[in-house]
Structure 1
Amino acid sequence: MACAFLLSPASCSGLRARMIMRPGAGSLLARRLREPLGAPLGEVYTFLSGLYFRGKLAYARAFADRPEHVLVITPTAGLRPPDTPVTLDVLDGFARIDIANGGSRFRRPLLADARALAAGLASDDEVILLGSIASPKYVDVLSGVFGPRLKFPLAFVGRGDMSRGGLLLRCVAEGAKLDYVPVAGATRHGARPPKLPPLPRRVVPAGG
């Protein structure tokens, strides 16, 4: 049974986005976005979102059955591999789309790519959404394509973005997968779970 991961996008209109998109931005990432080859989508989204997207990307890469089953939801380009090059113009286009309103510029390419992914999956393969199911912005399109095969981590319920990111990174460090449940009929809101205990420190033997 194969397992494909769909990662929700980072916000392209927040403070971090403005830092790299403003005229005269001089960071290395900002300069790369202005070059013809751009920068990898996963790297850009990790900068924009921080811990949450870093956790999603690390988890998906650790537990996907093959690299092409790690895909990122984008505002205008459907599902894209995290290594997809992104330029400043592309990022500016992303920032102009309000995903929450579910307009055709967002829904149409997402629907087309979801159908293409579904066509290559077996009937018992799973599609794991690493993102929010609290609103219909992703779920409506994806559920219509994947049906009961669309699942999400049960441990996400009640957690904020930072907590989810930390949880995913902990799973990668421990080599432990989360439990997944179908999105259809799932509880989308819940009580906040207890804070994660700190990871145990590595003991370095004396004398190296």
Structure 2
Amino acid sequence: MSDDVNAVISIVDASLADGLFDAAKISEGLEAIVQLGAVVKGYNPDEPIAELADLKGKLEELSGKLTEHLNELTALIGGDEGFYKTLTETLTNLLTVVAESVGEPDDDKKGSVEGAVNENPPLEYGYKLQSVLGQDSGNPIKIAWNQDPQESTVLHWKTILGSVFGQLLFIEAYVSGLLRNGDLYGAEELKLLVTGFDEDVEKWKKELEPES
């Protein structure tokens, strides 16, 4: 069990270096994240797992860094687009309850995760994000390009948006193990959204570059 926890710690450590989730690494480590959820689900307080407290601290630290990047989205889009503000609040809350359930794997904390994901399903937010990105007025890459038409601009916002999909995938995979007996439907759908996002970015670049 501790091997699965340590595998997730390695994923989170890699994310902490940049303060962002790497969706590709989350996809590669999906099985370990699902198993983490299963470990928390079946946790026996008589057999403590010290690594869980360590992972909780790392997730909380990462959550703070992620929120800083998410706030960039809200600042760029402005007050007229409320989706990114809601997205930031939702992702912060979801990762917080996940971290708390990892550090204190009791029924109350597990119930908090269940309530949070039922109210704001990660997959549903993935679909919403995909839809908003399809609109010029809600696409940070296109908006930022109009202000600074550089390859680095596209990369910056692609990385932040990719991290959002990565965070949704991380939470969905954890919930699969914690609440859904390892059912990976939501996680597999989010992986498809990640692939679709990467393809969309290449399409947007082709649309934007002739205007530079």
- The verdict on a shared fold, with TM-score over 0.5 as the criterion, is no
Higher strand share: 1
Higher helix share: 2
TM-score w.r.t. the length of structure 1 is: 0.29
TM-score w.r.t. the length of structure 2 is: 0.28
